[in-house]
Structure 1
Amino acid sequence: MIALAAAGTSVAPAKSAPSDVVTFRLVQVGKPGNPSVGIKPFKPGFYKDCKSAPSGKPDCQAVGAVDHTYMIGEVETTVDQYVTFLNTVDPNGTNQYKLWVSYMSSSAWPKYGPINFSHSAASGKHYSIAYPQWANKPIGFVDFISAAHFINSMDNGRILSHSQSQSDGFTVTTYTVKLSPNSETGMYDLRNPKTTRTKTSGFVIPSQDEWIKAAYYDPKGGGKYSYWEYPTGPFDAPKATLLNSSNGDVKNSATQPIAAYSPQGPEFPNGPKGGAKPGTYPEWCPPQAGSDCQTKNPLHLPADKFTANYQASLETVGQALTRSPWGTLDQAGNAVEWTDTIDPILKHTPRVVRRMHGGVSNAKAYQLKIAAIGPQPQSDLIPKNIYPWLGFRIGMIGNPG
């Protein structure tokens, strides 16, 4: 389950919930028919439309327009939720769909491994949270296909309850869903590599435009052309989160706005005031792992290269507390997130390429901006194995009932 906690406290998964049930929170994104804006991928700024954008490569793309009301996860999908999903769809531990990779284990990767696997465990219990501190961190190491299996399990399942509450002036709907063991088909027919949504109502992985609208479009007309530059504010980059080194909880949530990223680069030559210093990253490591945190890794990198290449950790979801115009959390920094949009530029390549968004905890500020759209093969064992910051959040379209 997801339960947002005050900074400095760890959130443990619910003990009484059935083993095939997940609880999560969604916010509604309304005002359908909103205008798009023009962006040039990974270039500064954005434009009223692509006619207003400068010429030259990369080509301008219109993003953010959505013609329907929808819902999106308040925070990213968590390790606790993913473990529940694994034990539901793979009760015998065969790992038929490769939804778990060995690099997820704490023995293979003490610093980043959130989920352990046991061959000898009872049915429905082969997968477990590596250490309690991981429960409410975003799931990483997940390619699009694995995320789509998760969504299909939800879509084939049953909504047990839903209720509304208020958080910081936003209406949040909490859903409790009994997962289904069937995950190959559903909202996405994964027998088709180029699958798109098969239904007009149900759980989804947000599209690129849905993701961008939730993160950047201001229904009150703030920012520029009603869009923000960052999910945390209209114009200025957020400050950086500081983490409890033993559990990954946010220590500086009173400093707003903040996000999990590395404030380095030419945009911040002296570091943002009140945040981390240049060259620092949001870091933590389970104390149960001891010194292996700094040295042991499945890539067999020597300690100095491992430290240089694998800085930054995923923090407890929601604790940065800085909300987007629609009330989402962590769309800036933490895990980079999948969308279900097939890249229109690379749609004819041999591999199916989807769009991603959201920065990441080891990113510079430019990766938090609206123009930071990234293509990624939807099923590629290399990033799936070596990239512990690869996650997703849940979406909902229509009225699943």
Structure 2
Amino acid sequence: MATVGDPGNPSVGVWQVFKTLGTASTNVTLPPDNSTGIYKNCKAAPPSAPSCLTVGGVKDTYGIGEFAVTVSQYVTFLNTADPDGKNLRQLYEDNMNSTVWPQYGPINYASGSGVAPGQHYSVAYPEWAQKPFNFGDFRRGAEFVNSLFNGKVLSKTSSTSGTFKYVTYKVRLSPETERGMYDMSNETPTRTASTGFVLPSNDEWVKAAYYDPKHGGTDSYWVYPTGPFDQPNISVLNPTTGDVTNADKQPLATYNPNDPNSSVDTPGAPAGTAPTWCPSQAGPSCAKTFPADFPPGLNLAPLYMGNVSTVGQTKTPSPWGAYDMGGNVVEHTDSLAPQPPGYHFLRDWRYYHGGVANAPAYQVAIYGFGYFPGDPQLGRIYPWMGFRVGVIGDVK
């Protein structure tokens, strides 16, 4: 965990590029005149803003994952939480399987009398082990956190790297995932304890990604997790392993600079193409094979251009020493978002942040707040959603 200090730091007002109720042409409005979209408070935001959100102030020191939760870590969790492989809580779905979706499926499933308890789930190919888990949502993240919360801390080690401070926890996971930091029997679970492992809140996530304790940027906040003003360079990936091959091009992030599906590519995006790869074991049809229940007749290739890179290999830290907070997978927080106008049935809306390997730079920026309705039907076709773990209080 990267330690995030400077407790009681000021918040800022941030322009939200995603309209809660958009027009027929686009739901995205970038800040005017290439501005940062950061204001001392929301009263200082222009009246033309779609909406302004006050974010980033956190009263206590806390920890946030140096990296997003990896495929290997999620597989360990699956085999702990579901040793019989019955998948009663939908912690797994078929689109995660490399046979169903070769390019994006990181986790395979096996059943039958020959499979021992706790061995039903496995990393699809070795190349996936240290990639971010990419089919996350709030509920999967919360149950992962509950497994940590109810588990046993085997060791806790402090370290430093330059100016960054870290605490490394080694935890034996618990099979109890329905209760802990979050009571999953509630319709909208929230934190139940002041100490323990958590999904970061919106403020905690934003502070860890964008707040500069040295007070650079705009009112001490960066536009990107990789720097105060300029868009990062684009990762180039090994086409069969997903390893980053251009880490010397700093600052760097795994995102798509020129998304043909977007009418609002961020002005001034660096040259480059969507970072992508396919496991060599999947063969030459890897990028052309999609789940069988996808709607027929769609041109799917332009919709699925980017793929995730190995965690940490972009080597560009946030102001607090966390990596990949821009691009790769969008990360879920535990903060409830207001239900947008036009929706009349209760949904578990949560903020998520950070952009994805398939999307332009505006989604990597501080103003790229997204809302996720907790709809599993959306999650199963969007293979760029993950989460990272946080910690509050003194966990022992």
Q: Same fold (TM over 0.5)?
A: yes
Q: 2:149 aligns with which of 149, 155, 159?
A: 155
Contact kept, 8 Å, 1:155 with 1:187, in 2: the verdict is yes
Query: Which position in structure 2 is the counterpart of 1:3?
Result: none
Q: CA deviation at 1:142?
A: 1.6
1:340 aligns with 2:334: yes
Contact kept, 8 Å, 2:247 with 2:315, in 1: the verdict is yes
SS of structure 2 residue aligned to 1:87? helix
Contact kept, 8 Å, 2:188 with 2:348, in 1: the verdict is yes
SS of structure 1 residue aligned to 2:228? coil
Q: CA deviation at 1:240?
A: 0.4
Q: CA deviation at 1:302?
A: 6.8
Q: CA deviation at 1:193?
A: 1.5
How do 1:203-214 and structure 2 match up within 5 A? 203-214=197-208
Q: Which runs of 5+ in 2 are unaligned?
A: 18-29, 32-36, 259-263
**Cα distance change of structure 1 residues 266 and 188 upon mapping to structure 2, 3 Å threshold:** closer
Query: Which position in structure 2 is the counterpart of 1:262?
Result: 256
How big is each residue's C-alpha offset from its partner over 1:313-364, in whole Å with a ceiling of 9 and x where there is no partner? Answer: 0100000000111111000000000000001355985111000000111111
Query: Which position in structure 2 is the counterpart of 1:200?
Result: 194
How far apart in 2 are the matches of 1:300 and 1:385? Answer: 10
How big is each residue's C-alpha offset from its partner over 1:364-395, in whole Å with a ceiling of 9 and x where there is no partner? Answer: 111111111011112x1212210110100000
How far apart in 2 are the matches of 1:82 and 1:167? Answer: 26
Query: Which position in structure 2 is the counterpart of 1:325?
Result: 319
How far apart in 1 are the matches of 2:267 and 2:344? Answer: 38
How big is each residue's C-alpha offset from its partner over 1:219-273, in whole Å with a ceiling of 9 and x where there is no partner? Answer: 111111000010000010101010011100000001100000111265446x52x
Query: Which position in structure 1 is the counterpart of 2:182?
Result: 188
Letter in 2 for 1:78: T
SS of structure 2 residue aligned to 1:113? coil
1:400 aligns with 2:395: yes
How do 1:1-400 and structure 2 match up within 5 A? 26-42=1-17, 43-44=30-31, 45-120=37-112, 121-264=115-258, 266-268=265-267, 272=270, 276-277=271-272, 280-298=273-291, 299-300=293-294, 305-346=299-340, 350-378=346-374, 380-400=375-395
Q: Which runs of 5+ in 1 are unaligned?
A: 1-25
How far apart in 1 are the matches of 2:239 and 2:143? Answer: 33
Letter in 1 for 2:351: R
TM-score (norm 2): 0.90
How far apart in 1 are the matches of 2:295 and 2:237? Answer: 25
Q: CA deviation at 1:59?
A: 2.3
How far apart in 2 are the matches of 1:262 and 1:289? Answer: 23
How far apart in 1 are the matches of 2:116 and 2:162? Answer: 42
Q: CA deviation at 1:211?
A: 0.1
How far apart in 2 are the matches of 1:69 and 1:252? Answer: 34
Q: CA deviation at 1:56?
A: 3.8
Contact kept, 8 Å, 2:75 with 2:121, in 1: the verdict is yes
Paired residues, what number?
A: 369
**Cα distance change of structure 1 residues 366 and 311 upon mapping to structure 2, 3 Å threshold:** same
How far apart in 1 are the matches of 2:256 and 2:53? Answer: 27
How far apart in 2 are the matches of 1:261 and 1:167? Answer: 26
Contact kept, 8 Å, 1:295 with 1:303, in 2: the verdict is no
Q: CA deviation at 1:295?
A: 1.6
Q: CA deviation at 1:304?
A: 7.9
